[in-house]
Amino acid sequence: MNDNENILARRIIALLDLTSLNADDTDAGIVALCHKALTPAGPVAAVCVYPQFVSLARRTLDALGGTQVQVATVCNFPTGDAPLAEVLEQVSEALDNGANEIDVVYPYRALIAGDEQPGRDLVATCKALCRGRALLKVILETGELNALLIRQASIDAIEAGADFIKTSTGKVKVNATAEAAELMLHVIADTNPQVGFKPAGGMRTLSDAAVYLWLAERILGKDWVSPRHLRFGASSLLDNTLQHLGLSAQPPAQGAY
């Protein structure tokens, strides 16, 4: 591996939201995820888990000395069509349990049906709960939207207070794509460059992630790229990136919490 690839791999790790959002997730699996987040090449930016695991993830990371790793969770996930009151209850509980970041699914089906207001209302009310407590990352589910609707959802989410706009849940057929990413990054550049961007789903290799890093640098500049502005949502990307560095994640000792 040459020096440039080495630098790239380490940059990707520092921007990674290491994710486990599986129906069969267990306490032991989340503990292992937290151990994995503290890699031999440095910590990832965040771990992203279901709401019921937020407290466990925060306690485990803190016990391991990983206080700098953020705990993200998902709300209104994955379909984006829960009643607003239910979503707000999810967000509030996650915040109380120690979540540093909330990844909430935008009501994209309402937008497809021609109604923009549910998306604006959801983001604005979630932002009111998160303000001063957590970053709000809004999942647009771009694989279900055409280009016009991706642009509209991006603008509406940003205007309503999103700290990040995110491509996908990882639970539909089409997840992050370079085309959707380019469109969303241009909206950020044109409206509010303080907003971050998170491609998610389908990234498995260092070269997959490098495409989005390159797009972000081209559209918003190298100085824009940091964990505050760019994240990669993935579950298997870390293993491939560590392999490029000749490293591997260290599993926890048996029974370790």
Q: CB under 8 Å to 206, separation ≥6 — which residues?
A: 5, 8, 9, 12, 237, 240, 241, 244
Active-site entry in 36, 127, 137, 198 = 198
* Helix segments in the chain, DSSP class H: 3-14, 27-37, 54-63, 84-96, 108-112, 117-130, 147-160, 178-191, 206-220, 237-244
Q: Let me know: does 123 contact 139? Beta carbons within 8 Å.
A: no
Is residue 198 among the annotated active site residues?
A: yes
Residues in the chain: 257
Is residue 103 among the annotated active site residues?
A: yes
Is residue 166 among the annotated active site residues?
A: yes
Phi, psi of 180 (to 5 degrees): -65, -40
Active-site entry in 17, 103, 156, 163 = 103
The strand pairing partners of 42, in sequence order, are: 39
3-state secondary structure of 20: strand
The strand pairing partners of 75, in sequence order, are: 104
Active-site entry in 36, 127, 137, 166 = 166
Catalytic residues: 103, 166, 198
